[in-house]
A and B are shown apart, each in its own frame.
Chain A
């Protein structure tokens, strides 16, 4: 892969702010491209010069070593100059607004901006103010599109398809951007999506997003092909949303006993980092035949390479034409 390779069919979105609004064909386009980057990343020489001379900024308003590292590797493997900015509200403390930050960065002529923010919609707000491509690396409880894409890639590589699979997303749906992105993606690709959680961890009208709602693991996991476990934030524990870790694990923690009702060989996913003994039993988490956690981490880099490639194509085509 080099900067001179002919760009493939264009991707009709300037930014990647969410999965909602993407068609099955567009999702497939990203996954197909990512497949190529998986093989590329497994070669001893992993670096390409596709984005040589391009600047990618990882703007993280919220801690996330895993996602940030994954985006950083993706950018670097494509040959881009990658800069990490961890804002941690320091600019905000100085009175700088999100829009000021966007305008400042925009003046520095970036090619792509990868943004994580604790507020839903913050990435959209930022994307309205900059000229470069914006990639949502997670905004509040809204979306985390590259996570859903990497999850889809992991499933597709293991089972060869997404259509017709029964996928159970379990745990803290209410606060999960990963769940929302996965619901949109899996529905678009023709999977049957279930959500499994106590009612206190489900948002209102979740059924209108095209999912089956279950409150027990026994019914929710029945004949499932894929089980996606979500991280439970420990601050949700003390009697607010669930009464205790002990009770949550008893009813909603994934262990071999609850897995019995799923399809034999059902695969287990987790966006990480895992709370062992809270939402997932250690034995299950470490079962390499069933757990896809490490696949997810590996494929995350490839998916992010694919998205960076797609979203920077218009700018690269424009400069190639000069």
Chain B
């Protein structure tokens, strides 16, 4: 695997493709033409009269061509944690995973809670010139949960939403103000739903934690926080997005709230539908995540929530941690797993297992996150940015974390057999990455 040299942004014809556009339900053989940074045309009968002579031709030999993935929850630990991940390494990992748009959390050091923080990410992303990187602004100063940030100025600088990232906005009064104020600028508030007073443990509270002698985090920590916040949404009318939903009750609550017409959306991460608390095994720190992995009943409920659209989005929740933070006793290990390079195959796993249709699964990682954050991405449309991914949908392979381009290797999916992967990633019409076979 290498990062491919940038191709000049002229006209490129992608022929013999299986066009997939979850936003419109398109799933047909066809072709797509990019012109410069934009999609010029696409469709089943495009090039029926021949490919334009000035276009470079890329024959996809039946592979799928879909909008590039939009990952709305990624921790890039630059500044402050460059040993774990930098903007550059995250961008390379994203490209290798078929992700063309990354939205990063504000939990850096220093926290992204002012305009300079947003501008730092913008500048780094421009310098890297690989995938598109957006940032959230912190909802409260220093993510300390007390004073709200300058949301208007942050929004003007490019913040696509507000969140305290991996920390819950715990104080109900503060959350009410955040929801109320963010509404003015049309940005969603993303909550890490975990009542901190209940979440002092290190894995799901249950039989496994009891056997291992580890402090448990009860599922109620999540459920209570979501229920409380929904009342605040009713009070304020702000757009509330719940990050990484993990329990069956949460799915039920969200389903009912959506039916009542509340302005809410939510996401989950692959580890919550692909793993359970039993994957902690004998203290596997790579399975230590926040919120914790739950039980099989919850895992199934998450899949059901994805299938019926209650859960809008799958985000990788990419949280790079170096060995020093993971090769320690479980209770001392940092929370988090990486996910940029496994987001696509694990999402496709849902389709291969026929739990969710292929287009619905891809909608969770393309148009839906783009719509929630009002990003110009995630769909095939004439005139839209040519941010695309070529997917070999059925190819079987085994996850090898050592081959990841992410600086950290803390994946719980090492050695997992999966099916389907990105083979070419295109951003603004330029191929930024291709998989070299063999």
Contacts and interface: CB of A to CB of B under 8 A. Distances in A.
B206 A121 contact: no
B330 interface: yes
Interface stretch (B207-215, B263-271, B299-307, B386-394): B207-215
Contacts of B218: 204
A125 B283 contact: yes
A295 interface: no
B395 interface: no
B332 interface: yes
A177 B324 CA distance: 27
A143 interface: yes
B210 A208 contact: yes
B213 A120 contact: yes
A180 B209 CA distance: 12
Interface in B67-97: none
A141 B327 contact: no
Interface in B293-352: 324, 327-332
Given A120-B283, A204-B206, A204-B218, A209 B331 contact: no
B222 to A, nearest CB: 15
B211 A209 contact: yes
B282 interface: yes
A65 B328 CA distance: 25
A125 B216 CA distance: 20
B416 to A, nearest CB: 21
Contacts of A99: 327-328
B216 to A, nearest CB: 5
A264 to B, nearest CB: 33
A203 B216 contact: yes
A68 interface: no
Contacts, number: 72
A205 B283 contact: no
A209 B213 CA distance: 12
Contacts of A208: 207, 210
B205 interface: yes
B206 A119 contact: no
A117 interface: yes
A186 to B, nearest CB: 15
Interface string A28-56: 00000000000000000000000000000
A121 B210 contact: no
A142 B212 CA distance: 5
Contacts of A255: none
A24 interface: no
Interface string A202-235: 0111101100000000000000000000000000
A120 B331 contact: yes
B213 to A, nearest CB: 3
Contacts of B327: 97, 99, 125
Interface in B207-250: 207, 209-216, 218
A298 interface: no
Contact-residue bracket for chain B: 20 to 34
Contact of B329 (A125, A177, A180): A125
Interface string A70-104: 00000000000000000000000000011100000
Nearest to B284: A121
Contacts of A204: 205-207, 209-210, 216, 218
Interface in B187-221: 205-207, 209-216, 218
A110 interface: no
A142 B216 contact: no
B283 A203 contact: no
Contacts of B205: 203-205
Contacts of B212: 120-121, 142
Nearest to B331: A119
A124 interface: yes
Nearest to B282: A124
A124 B283 contact: yes
A62 interface: no
A203 B210 contact: yes
Contacts of B328: 97-99, 125
A141 B215 CA distance: 9
Contact of A205 (B207, B324, B331): B207
Interface string A179-217: 010000000000000000000000111101100000000
B282 A205 contact: no
A20 B213 CA distance: 12
16 contacts: A98-B328, A99-B328, A119-B330, A120-B214, A121-B213, A122-B329, A124-B283, A142-B214, A180-B210, A204-B206, A204-B216, A205-B205, A205-B206, A205-B207, A209-B207, A209-B211
Nearest 9 pairs of A and B residues by beta carbon: A142-B213, A121-B283, A141-B213, A119-B329, A120-B213, A122-B329, A205-B207, A203-B210, A208-B207
Given A180-B211, A204-B206, 14 more contacts: A99-B328, A119-B332, A120-B283, A120-B329, A120-B330, A121-B213, A121-B330, A125-B283, A204-B205, A204-B210, A204-B216, A204-B218, A205-B205, A208-B207
Interface of B: 205-207, 209-216, 218, 282-283, 324, 327-332
Interface of A: 20, 97-99, 117, 119-122, 124-125, 139-143, 177, 180, 203-206, 208-209
